């Protein structure tokens, strides 16, 4: 996924800080993500991963710092269809039992002109998204009749239907069984090979480990590590938690290995 040198970063956050109810949650965050990168955002519970994703998607305001998306300052950014967000599962499927197709179609709404029915192109995108996650045959079923892992795939299909260039996924494999994790990993690989930029919040990478270009490890609301994925991300977390009380200078790393070379078994 080589990027033309003149292309602006997809995400550029400088010295970002977030406070919730007056309490500092994130501090001094510098994060640059380039087009086509597959970044894993890791770290212990409560280290600030979800809060960072919310700040990057505008769901949580920055107390200070500068944020640009696709080279546009956040304040003037309007092109939200370029961004897909798969939230942490949790309540998905509770309440109104929408059908799988309806949930996925909701991800297409930003493309649709106001009050116009979905067009042929919209339907094609919705159906393709269902196919990618392997749920075409469940399109008309209520989401509540699906397993947790399948519901997670519905949420990914919803983001896919919008055909975004940048995907945020918050813990998509939490509580998902291994076969479903593998389907998720295959889906993300497809997206990555197509050139999508992916920011994945994950506690454990599991079958997604070989896809990652770069790991960003959060600790106490700061970036404790930014660099090539280590042999085991759990080692990274354990290492950082166990021995270091001061955060590391982030390690810059602009030449991420290609997904394909990782899959070929290169280091």
Q: Smallest distance from the beta carbon of 7 to ligand ATP, in angstroms?
A: 29
Residue placing its CB nearer to ligand ATP in the complex, 129 or 169: 169
Q: Are 38 and 3 in contact (CB under 8 A)?
A: no
Q: Smallest distance from the beta carbon of 85 to ligand ATP, in angstroms?
A: 14
Residue 154's nearest CA partner among 170, 176, 139 is: 139
- DSSP letters for 180-238: HHHHHHHHHHHHHHTT-EEEEE-S--GGGGGG-SEEEEEETTEEEEEESPPS-HHHHHH
Q: Smallest distance from the beta carbon of 260 to ligand ATP, in angstroms?
A: 30
User: CA angle 254-256-261, nearest 5°?
Assistant: 155
Residue placing its CB nearer to ligand ATP in the complex, 104 or 218: 218
Q: Smallest distance from the beta carbon of 141 to ligand ATP, in angstroms?
A: 29
Q: Smallest distance from the beta carbon of 201 to ligand ATP, in angstroms?
A: 7
Biggest CA–CA distance in the chain, Å, is 58
Residue placing its CB nearer to ligand ATP in the complex, 25 or 211: 25
Residue placing its CB nearer to ligand ATP in the complex, 98 or 174: 174
Residue placing its CB nearer to ligand ATP in the complex, 25 or 199: 25
Q: Smallest distance from the beta carbon of 4 to ligand ATP, in angstroms?
A: 33
The whole-angstrom separation of Cα 35 and Cα 25 is: 27
> Do the bridges between strand 38-43 and strand 197-201 make them parallel or antiparallel, or are there none, so unpaired?
parallel
Residues at the contact surface with ligand ATP, assessed by CB under 6 A:
20-21, 25, 43, 45-51, 218
Q: Smallest distance from the beta carbon of 111 to ligand ATP, in angstroms?
A: 29
Say whether 71 sits in a helix, a strand or coil: coil
Residue placing its CB nearer to ligand ATP in the complex, 143 or 217: 217
Residue 52's nearest CA partner among 209, 61, 44 is: 61
The whole-angstrom separation of Cα 92 and Cα 63 is: 30
Residue placing its CB nearer to ligand ATP in the complex, 43 or 164: 43
User: CA angle 4-80-29, nearest 5°?
Assistant: 70
């Amino acid at each position: 996924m080589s990027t033309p040198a003149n292309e602006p970063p997809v995400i550029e956050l400088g010295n970002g800080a977030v406070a919730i109810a007056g309490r500092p949650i994130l501090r001094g965050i510098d994060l640059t993500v380039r087009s086509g990168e597959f970044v894993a955002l890791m770290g212990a519970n409560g280290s600030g991963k979800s809060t960072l994703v919310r700040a990057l998607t505008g769901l949580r305001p920055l107390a200070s710092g500068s944020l640009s998306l696709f080279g546009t300052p956040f304040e003037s950014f309007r092109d939200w269809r370029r961004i897909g967000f798969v939230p942490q599962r949790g309540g998905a499927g509770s309440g109104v039992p929408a059908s799988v197709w309806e949930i996925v179609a909701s991800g297409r709404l930003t493309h649709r002109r106001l009050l116009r029915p979905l067009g042929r192109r919209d339907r094609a995108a919705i159906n393709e998204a269902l196919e990618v996650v392997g749920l075409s045959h469940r399109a008309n079923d209520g989401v509540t009749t699906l397993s947790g892992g399948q519901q997670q795939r519905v949420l990914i299909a919803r983001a896919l239907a919008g055909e975004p260039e940048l995907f945020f996924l918050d813990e998509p494999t939490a509580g998902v069984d291994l076969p479903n994790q593998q389907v998720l990993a295959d889906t993300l690989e497809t997206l990555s090979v197509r050139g999508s930029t992916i920011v994945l919040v994950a506690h454990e990478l599991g079958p997604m480990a070989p896809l990652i270009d770069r790991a960003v490890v959060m600790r106490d609301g700061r970036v404790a590590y930014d660099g090539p994925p280590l042999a085991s991300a759990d080692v990274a977390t354990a290492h950082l938690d166990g021995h270091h009380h001061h955060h590391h200078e982030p390690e810059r790393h602009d030449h991420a290995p290609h997904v394909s070379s990782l899959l070929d078994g290169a280091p």
